Amino acid sequence: MRRTALLASAALLAGLLPWAATARAAGEPAPVPVDRFEGEVPFAAQPAEGIFTWGGDADDPPTLRLADRADAPEGGKVLTGGYDISGYGGFTHDYAATAPAHDWSAHQGIRFWWEGRNNGKKITFEIKDGGAHGEASELWTASFTDDFTGWKQIQLPFTDFAYRTDHQPVGGIDHVLGLKEMWGYAVTLPAGLKGDFAMDGVELYGRADQALRASVTTDAPVVPVREGGTARVKVTVATTGEQPLTEPVTVTYATADGTAASGTDYTPVSGTLTFPAGTASGTVRTVAVPTRRDKAAEPAETVPLRLTVTGAKAPAETPQVVIDAHGLPYLNAALPVRKRVADLLGRMSLAEKAGQMTQAERGAVGQGADIAGYALGSLLSGGGSTPTPNTPEAWAKMIDAFQLRAQATRFQIPLIYGVDAVHGHNNLSGATVMPHNIGIGATRDPRLARRTGAVTAAEVRATGVPWDFAPCLCVSRDERWGRSYESFGEDPALVDSMETVIQGLQGRADGRDLRRPDKVLATAKHFVADGGTAYGSSTTGTYTIDQGVTTVTREQLEDLHLAPYRTAVERGVGTVMPSYSSLDIAGDGKGAVKMHARGDMINGVLKGRMGFDGFVISDWNAVDQLPGDFAARVRASVGAGVDMMMVPYTYKEFSTTLADEVRAGRISERRIDDAVSRILTEKFRLGLFEHPYADTSGAARIGSPEHRAVARQAAAASQVLLKNSGGLLPLRKSQKVYVAGSNAADIGNQTGGWTLTWQGASGNTVPGTTILEGLRKAGGDITYSKDASAPTAGHDVGVVVVGETPYAEGVGDVGNGHDLKLSAADRAAVDRVCAAMKCAVLIVSGRPQLVGDRLDAIDALVASWLPGTEGDGVADVLYGRRPFTGQLPVTWPKSEAQLPINVGDAAYDPQFPYGWGLTTLTQVPKGGTATLHDLAARAAAAERRGDERTGRALVTKARLLVQQKADGHVTQAVAAPFADADHLLLTGRYGKAVQKLAQAYRAA
């Protein structure tokens, strides 16, 4: 259809549709079609030009088709489709990557016809600027609201598009909407609503004006100044492509009414800044706002500076000069924290207190205006929620910008920003990624656990983040749980011993080190008994065990699940996070109750009996899992003792509902004051009032050789040698080694979930060293074939690295698309290599894998867990640079039917027992029953003396004797006392431990 016909059609439709925009100004270029949806653009994806769908999971991409419509606004067809999106979903039109990008710079904006459903939902429209192609471009977004019925032409001026801050495919390019190299557009459809849509006639319209090419900005939206000082607001004019202005730009400014009093608190100013035609891009003018000093102590006061811009795009918001709070007792760092807290609390309004109890996601607050608007107390980055680019500098800059917003509040209470740094600063690209907790538990080395925590804290704090949602103190009792790798192990005594990580994160238990630039506030999670949920009890989506129900007696709860929290409180942990799971205590008459509503446990046990004096932070949107309407859920969780609510995207609703419930008398002011006091206490202890902004002095050490050396040692110490027939390991550099398997050269699989993103991902995701690279760097003669298809002849030994791909939380539950078996490709690789030569099999996984059917064919078997970014550590033990010393932190089952199986069970017949771990480079002591009798007597004596070092050494000798005699053939009679011995060792009963090992020795 010719363009004249198109225009005629549009003109005719204009008489029928009241919203049609048909007028064109004189000299305005004709619209340029992008999509007519008549079939000229196929349904196809890169590198071809085409329209394609996408979504967060398999159900999220919408359905699309071209439909004949008599009422089509343009032509005879429209694009239509249906959607039912739980996460995110939409569709894209990309230009062909093999052809040049398009130039949209001559136009004012982009428009299209949309058939409204009047559902009140926001539709996001995204354009793609610069880069190599549509999927490697820079994303700019605008939106409209579907609050109409029938066809309407939506016009989106390019001046309305904002740089997308939550995601950029290639980390952002130049942050400038150039419009000269455009690759297409994308539409994001609303989530949580089943519906359909129709769209037609996407086109470029209008003539570009200078307001598109030129913009006026200020150096910051908030400009703090000490009372009596002069605030200087920098006003900058900039152009696309850094070209000089073609037309003049004027900026008229004037101070306006804020909370500061004109003439008393500041001297009012007004005037005009002129940027003549020809002014260079980046030119800065300064507006000075003098403030006045008086003798009164005061909270912060604001002075808005109104800017009226002609000839360019105005700033997105009015900058505010803030006269800093001064003279108030809570600002006096010399006062005790409790006095500072009491003074500040007594000055705060109910709305300000509610804000302190509210935590939002960084992606939800945009540029952060709501931080002051709702007096927010905290922000977080969820898994994968990162700045662009994902660098230490960008993290610090982002968090400092958020902290600056908090300076516009009355009392300038700083934010506390939190992240899930659960095995290093795992959201940050280039950070040192440690083994996951299950591997740390395998090291049996509390000092090393502390060092890993210290490295994590240093890297986290150097990016401006003072709070870490770690460590997980769950006692994992069923390896089918998708979070089992977040646990140090199945024995509370083992978990207890690894809690030195809290000191690594926080420093000394009294909190005096929290002000240091290399320490962070730690979080003990998930209170309580999240590791004890029963298989099949989850009611969350397709999860099978995560967020399910833990059914225990009171004694089991105390001994298994509460014990680690007693230790955490003694170690001074600053925050505690309740579990999503439900707790059903036999005989208490409550039934299964979500932990976020169990006041008997949070208020009663944690805060009351244990004396926890930090604050309780909810899990992500956990309030929404409680019964009743939103107000009832808020009452239940706050009443149970939750002090701060993680409500990533519903922070407005939570803070206003909380305040309303207090006003109505359904939540007591005393409870609110307790919660806010706890939160403020930790902020004061962290030194945030004196130093709210990032101290990046330690940023150069992020991912440094020094830090990676700690991770390398942890990776080596976490390796558990389960079988070693004929002393195959360690390898010799003279041997020709054939390496195969899916996890030998995949650092994404090696680091697991919670790495850059929530679920993690396979592939080359983060800087580091794969196991294959580590083997090559160790000097071995290596042949690599992932699927073992390369010829095997001529090699001395095979190393097959197999296991799991990444997952996190309930997504990784067995039965939710996962099992405990090796993949078909991994099984084939093991079979090919082990049939051709002596072989060592390494299992890289978050939990035991079932390999009993192949165990006889495997000469050496290693549980490598998820060793992190330092594959050199794995190579260190394989080549004998370090000895194998790791021990199983969980029981290794023979079959899934045995699960759950744990140390201390009445029926205990595993493949390998808890605590099992062969060693290398260490001479096994000689002797038998008599030797064990002597070791038991000496160990009991060491126990009486409180000599831990000697006691542990004697138990280790006895353990080596048992393992040597069992020679990899572990019977039930051997396994049970062997596992019991490791538990006894961890509880300091060295004599009893050796007696149990003697029992295992006799049965071997």
Q: Annotated active-site positions, please?
A: 619, 809
Amino acid type, 406: A
Alpha helices in 803-917 (DSSP H): 824-836, 871-878
Whether the CB-CB separation of 289 and 333 falls below 8 Å is answered with no
**Measured in whole angstroms, how far is the alpha carbon of residue 979 from the centre of its chain?**
35
Single-letter residue type at 503: Q
Query: Are 696 and 396 in contact, with CB atoms under 8 Å apart?
Result: yes
Residue 120: DSSP 8-state: -
| Preceding peptide of 730 cis, ω within 30° | yes
Distance, in Å, from the CA atom of 489 to the CA atom of 473, rounded to the nearest integer, reads 9
Tell me which H or E stretch contains 452.
helix 446-461
Residue 407: helix, strand or coil by DSSP?
Answer: coil
Whole-number Å distance between alpha carbons of 226 and 224: 7
- The residues facing 669 across adjacent strands are none
What does the block give as tokens for 831?
A: 């079979």
Q: At what angle do helices 972-986 and 990-1003 cross, to 10 degrees?
A: 170
Q: Which residue has the tokens 């016009």?
A: 155
Amino acid at 575: T
Crossing angle of helices 948-966/972-986, nearest 10°?
170
Residue 405 contacts residue 224 (beta carbons within 8 Å): no
CA 751, CA 790: separation in Å to the nearest integer?
27
Distance of CA 638 to the CA centre of its chain: 25
| Dist CA 78 CA 177 (whole Å) | 29
Pseudo-torsion of CA 931, 937, 943, 947, nearest 10°? -60
Q: What is the longest distance spanned by two Cα atoms in the chain?
A: 106
Neighbours of 964 (CB within 10 A): 14
Tell me phi and psi for residue 795, to 5 degrees.
Answer: -105, 150
Distance CA 487, CA 201 (A): 55
Distance CA 533, CA 583 (A): 9
What residues contact 791, with CB distance under 8 A and at least 6 apart? none
What are the structure tokens assigned to 491, written together?
A: 């024995």
CA distance 372 to 318: 14
Q: For residue 106, report the phi and psi dihedrals to the nearest 5 degrees.
A: -80, -5
Q: In angstroms, rounded to a whole number, what is the distance separating the alpha carbons of residues 882 and 873?
A: 9
The Cα 234–Cα 232 span in angstroms is: 6
Do 519 and 513 touch, CB atoms closer than 8 A?
yes
User: Is the torsion defined by CA of 568, 573, 577, 578 positive or negative?
Assistant: positive
Neighbours of 164 (CB within 10 A): 16
Residue given tokens 């039917």 in the structure block: 897
Positive or negative: CA dihedral 950, 955, 957, 958: positive
How many alpha carbons lie under 13 Å from residue 547 in its C-beta half-sphere?
Answer: 19
Contact 187, 126 (CB under 8 A): yes
3-state secondary structure of 204: strand
**Are the beta carbons of 454 and 434 closer than 8 angstroms?**
no
Q: Assign 208 to helix, strand or coil.
A: coil
* CB-CB neighbours of 63 under 10 Å: 12
